[in-house]
């Protein structure tokens, strides 16, 4: 019996030594050029986009099999392949399931990303992505094919910035947690984020909702249930709705980079309720259309705003700007500039306006209504005929703030016109 215990102890020590040596050898091999290339190829095949490990990384056997490291890049810029990749991660950690690995299956128990950026305008979908539906669950035999997303036990993101344009307009994800992620199936999501413009924080948000991503990563749907947005000095506003993302067709066509972002949103404020329908195409330039409706409790009608826009490099042009309030219409064009501080510039026209009826739609109350606006406003309105307090005037020009100075008007691109028609349901 004593000899058996002695040999059992020696066996345990030997096994432990083999594990340590095996872990050291595996770590050394994985950190070599050959191991790095193999790992990059496996990860690229798993998600259908190029993956590069730029910095140091480590392979660990205890307490769980994991890979952690620095400087991870995913994807390839569409227009300029040698440019910076659209997704960069500063630090990452992945925990791999042991039993599935022994069955030659890859099961990722946890993924953690901290620090990094994602440029939506440069993102290209995997080859053939976007052809299926968000909810289309894969057959087991197809679940491991190249270009399909793997199931993940938990996903954690911290301090990741999603850039919409080169002007600093972005969404900073401070924290995001997803449990039991499976492609093609809805999953609960909890997140905290901040909206940035011109590199300045203009609002913070807390999200509870459900996320569903297609197996090919070409489509995604996010249900807000709800999204709580807080602006500086204001009470939180609860927003509900659905956000959908459809990625570009593939890297071979630079014009198909980015994708389409659309959705329907609703929220109630102390002075009324707002609904928004929008569709935006993100690529080398951003084009889109949106319709917003505003209703006040004490009013019988609805104010409606319709815009068709395009832009990039910090300037967004309104090719169409139509505002309807109290059965009256003001239309024209304008622009938004986010280079330094947020500025809105509009050149509008109206045939006839009843200013008394319009005044009844302007919210009255304490607080921000009489304070400084958090933007530079430049609006010029040319009114052919205006009615106010029983008097009528003709040929009026009103200037709010200062004279607008937008880029010269141009014919809207065909894609923008199509987006406007889609937003109107035509």
pLDDT of residue 295: 84
What is the torsional sign of CA 59, 61, 67, 68?
negative
Q: For a pLDDT cut of 90, what percent of the chain falls above it?
A: 26
Mean local confidence (pLDDT), 131-137: 48
Cα dihedral angle (52, 55, 56, 61), rounded to 10 degrees?
Answer: -30
Q: What is the pLDDT of residues 318-376, one digit of tens each?
A: 999 999 988 889 999 999 887 766 789 999 999 999 888 877 776 554 333 334 455 78
Mean local confidence (pLDDT), 238-266: 71
- Report which of residues 396 and 313 the model is more confident about: 396
Range name among 73-82, 94-103, 189-198 with the lowest pLDDT average: 73-82
pTM: 0.67
pLDDT of residue 317: 92
- Report which of residues 421 and 235 the model is more confident about: 235
Q: How far apart are the first and last CA of the chain?
A: 87
pLDDT of residue 143: 38
Mean local confidence (pLDDT), 257-282: 82
pLDDT of residue 282: 77
pLDDT band, very low/low/confident/very high, at 31 (cuts 50, 70, 90): low
What does DSSP say about strands 219-230 and 272-282: parallel, antiparallel, or unpaired? unpaired
pLDDT of residue 340: 66
Task: Please give the helix or strand (H or E) that residue 3 lies within, else none.
Answer: helix 2-30
**How far is 421 from 423, CA to CA, in rounded Å?**
5
82 to 78, 223, 286: CA distances (angstroms):
9, 36, 22
pLDDT band, very low/low/confident/very high, at 418 (cuts 50, 70, 90): very low
Rg (CA), the chain: 27
pLDDT of residue 121: 64
């Amino acid at each position: 019996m004593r000899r058996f215990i002695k040999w059992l102890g020696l066996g345990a020590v030997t096994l432990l030594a083999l594990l340590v040596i095996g872990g050291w050898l595996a770590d050394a091999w994985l950190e070599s050029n050959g191991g790095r290339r193999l790992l990059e190829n496996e990860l690229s095949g798993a998600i259908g986009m190029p993956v590069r490990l730029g910095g140091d990384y480590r392979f660990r056997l205890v307490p769980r099999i994991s890979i952690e490291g620095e400087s991870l890049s995913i994807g390839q810029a569409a227009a300029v392949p040698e440019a910076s990749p659209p997704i960069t991660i500063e630090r990452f950690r992945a925990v791999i399931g042991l039993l599935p690995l022994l069955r030659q299956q890859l099961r990722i128990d946890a993924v953690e990303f901290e620090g990094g950026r994602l440029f939506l305008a440069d993102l290209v979908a995997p080859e053939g992505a976007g052809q299926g539906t968000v909810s289309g669950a894969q057959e087991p035999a197809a679940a491991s094919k190249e270009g399909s997303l793997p199931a993940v036990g938990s996903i954690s993101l911290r301090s990741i910035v999603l850039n919409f344009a080169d002007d600093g307009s972005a969404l900073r994800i401070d924290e995001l947690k997803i449990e039991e992620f499976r492609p093609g199936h809805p999953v609960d999501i909890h997140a905290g984020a901040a909206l940035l413009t011109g590199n300045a924080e203009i609002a913070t948000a807390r999200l509870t909702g459900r996320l569903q991503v297609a197996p090919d990563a070409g489509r995604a749907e996010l249900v807000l249930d709800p999204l709580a947005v807080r602006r500086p000095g204001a009470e939180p506003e609860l927003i509900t709705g659905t956000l959908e993302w459809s990625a570009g067709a593939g890297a071979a066509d630079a014009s198909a980079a980015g994708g389409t972002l659309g959705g329907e949103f609703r929220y109630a404020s102390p002075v009324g309720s707002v609904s928004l329908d929008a569709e935006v195409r993100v690529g080398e330039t951003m084009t889109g259309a949106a319709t917003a409706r505003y209703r006040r409790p004490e009013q019988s009608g609805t104010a409606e705003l319709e815009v068709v826009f395009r832009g990039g490099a910090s300037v967004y042009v309104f090719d169409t700007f139509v505002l309807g309030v109290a059965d009256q219409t003001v239309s024209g064009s304008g622009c938004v500039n986010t280079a330094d501080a947020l500025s809105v510039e509009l050149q509008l026209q109206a045939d006839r306006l009843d200013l008394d009826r319009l005044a009844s739609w302007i919210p009255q109350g304490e607080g921000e209504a009489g304070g400084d606006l958090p933007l530079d406003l430049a609006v010029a309105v040319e009114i052919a005929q205006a009615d106010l307090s029983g008097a009528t005037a003709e040929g009026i020009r009103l200037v709010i703030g200062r004279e607008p100075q937008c880029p010269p008007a141009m014919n809207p691109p065909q894609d923008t016109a199509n987006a406007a028609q889609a937003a109107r349901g035509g």
